[in-house]
Amino acid sequence: MPELNKASSHSDNPSDVVVITGASAGVGRATAHAFAKRGTRIGLIARGTTGLAAAQSEVEALGGTALAVPTDVADPDQVESAASTIEESLGPITTWVNNAMTTVFAPLREITPEEFKRATEVTYLGTVYGTMAALRRMIPRNRGVIVQVGSALAYRSIPLQAPYCGAKHAIRGFTDSLRSELIHDRSHIHLTMVQLPAMNTPQFSWCRTRLPRHPQPVPPIYQPEVAARAIVWAATHRRREVNVGGSTDKAIWANKLAPAILDSYLARHAYESQQTNEPVEPNRPDNLFQPVPGDFGTQGIFHNVASGISFQAFETTHRGWVGITAGLLTGATIAILLNRKH
């Protein structure tokens, strides 16, 4: 096992230093893999040391440089200290990806104020503190990219996930406000948000739940590598916001057009769609206040129903090629039809 807080390996792209929060599992760890394949130097931030160590080994095996810094993103002093440690070891931070999250699956009446506060501190304020730490370093240099990992639930909330939905809505509001400030200052720092669909990550096996049956993401479900590719793309292109998955587009547009209808629809269907048929194990550990021991990897338990590709994500990140291809196909179709008439 590599020693935590000690960088190793060699980078083929020494100008890039990427920080990823929530890097020990799920989307954060998959994103670390994706950046590592580019030869990037990566600061890995999370609480769980076992998962961080495994992520560090994987980054190095894929050709990147890894520095694992155990950090609770709900503590601004820890986040600031982690940023300083990463810059001292790897160099100036060029990209910061805010991805860390936790939540409670339960009706609001069954969530305590302490639980709601903690979920908000990690998911929302962790993003704020990460952004602040990044800006302290990027503003004097007048360059850098900050990627906020969001969700379709930043636009359309669902029942049983009030802490998570509230945090993702807050991140979007915070990001929009900050973006206007950066534009006002004529800053060259790019701020973007990636809105994700349901993902097959370990969170459904380790987040706190009071549901009678095992929680699950609302189908359709995608593998975290789909999100990782979009996050890397967002970090290297100047798009204001990137939606991933057709379900994300549908949720956002449906909420714009008929929010009241969606309220009723979700009230009828979203309880069942967020639970499997399996009961929750008694006294299962959760990561709300402390990390769950062990290494959970990138993917969750829903392999059989999760897709590793998204045609919508490909289209949104390849608009030029898709437009050219569509134009050529249209032209070819018209030509064929005209030839048939003659």
Q: How far is the C-alpha of 275 from the C-alpha of 11, rounded, in Å? A: 43
Q: Identify the sign of the CA torsion 206, 210, 214, 215.
A: negative
Q: Which of 192, 80, 179 is nearest to 136 (CA)?
A: 80
Reply yes or no on whether 129 is catalytic. no
| DSSP structure class, residue 194 | E
Q: How many CB atoms lie within 10 A of CB 78?
A: 18
Instruction: Out of 124, 129, 164, 222, pick the active-site residue.
Output: 164
Please, which residues have CB within 8 angstroms of residue 19's CB and are 6 or more apart in sequence? 42, 43, 45, 82, 83, 86, 93, 95, 96, 97, 130, 134
C-beta atoms surrounding 268 within 10 Å:
9
Residue 17 identity: V
Region at 306 (left for phi over 0; alpha for psi -120 to 50; beta for the rest): beta
Q: Which residues are catalytic?
A: 164
